[in-house]
Amino acid sequence: MNWWWLQVLCINLLAGFAAVSIFLIHGEEQERLKWVAAPSTLPLYTTDEVCRDKESNKILNCGGCGGCSNRHDIKLYHDKRDTLTGIMVECAQADFIFRGDALECLKERSGLTEHCASCWVLNYVCNTHNCIRTCIKHRYLPFLPSWNAWNSEPLDPCIACDEKLCGPVFVDCAGANRRRAGVITDIERDNQQEICNKVDWDWVLGDDDEKTEDKTKDQNMVEKEGDGMAQEATREEL
């Protein structure tokens, strides 16, 4: 009796795995066809348009402004350039599997402003509608075959699908993504065409502020020394 139940269990597990595999392989091909038909995103990065900070007129990113086009978020792009994608993936997984709150998770773990973080979550939602089966297959079941090759090198199919089908949605909301802010990450890119080189990084990273602060301190010290010398000269005259 126990062997019979074990056989039934094994058959059901194999049947379930086969059904999931077919679902993912077929779904991946549907997503790949949409990816092939979608226009290139290169114009998002070769544009001459720039977004400037209203107060300082400093350049924040190439392309138009959006929810992430501010000094705080772009500095975080730089400081967390090798970890931000991983944080977003972990928050998205918690939201998708355990019904967590992706927005609150991302804000807390990354430090992004709410408007910027909401754009990242919008990108995640877009991904679930357009690339979810490709990403599940390549991230968790990479041994499953594909009907056709993606030819997306050097990007893996999950990232390639996300960037082409959801990248425009994200950029429209955020204004600045990392490439448009000139941030080089661990994801391989065509740095000559895709990475913005117009951002005023000295200002974004605070170098100008530090220099101004140091200059102010020096001026204050000079003024104090001058006041001290004047007081000493007055005492000598008396």
> Domain for residue 218, yes or no?
no
> Domain for residue 142, yes or no?
yes
- C-alpha 114 chain-centroid distance: 14
> pLDDT of the chain along its 238 residues, tens only?
577 788 888 888 899 989 999 999 999 999 999 999 999 999 999 999 999 999 999 999 999 999 999 999 999 999 999 999 999 999 999 988 877 899 999 999 999 999 999 999 999 999 999 999 999 999 999 999 999 999 998 899 999 999 999 999 999 999 999 999 999 987 888 778 899 999 999 999 985 444 434 433 333 433 444 444 444 434 444 4
- Determine the pLDDT at residue 39: 96
- Determine the pLDDT at residue 237: 44
> Domain for residue 217, yes or no?
no
Beta strand spans in the chain (E): 50-52, 59-62
> Domain for residue 214, yes or no?
no
> Domain for residue 23, yes or no?
yes
> Domain for residue 108, yes or no?
yes
**CA proximity to 138, closest of 165, 163, 164, 156:** 156
Domain of residue 162: give its range.
2-209
> Domain for residue 104, yes or no?
yes
> Domain for residue 238, yes or no?
no
Instruction: Output the pTM of the full model.
Output: 0.81
Structural domain count of the chain = 1
- Determine the pLDDT at residue 207: 59
Q: Let me know: does 24 contact 144? Beta carbons within 8 Å.
A: yes
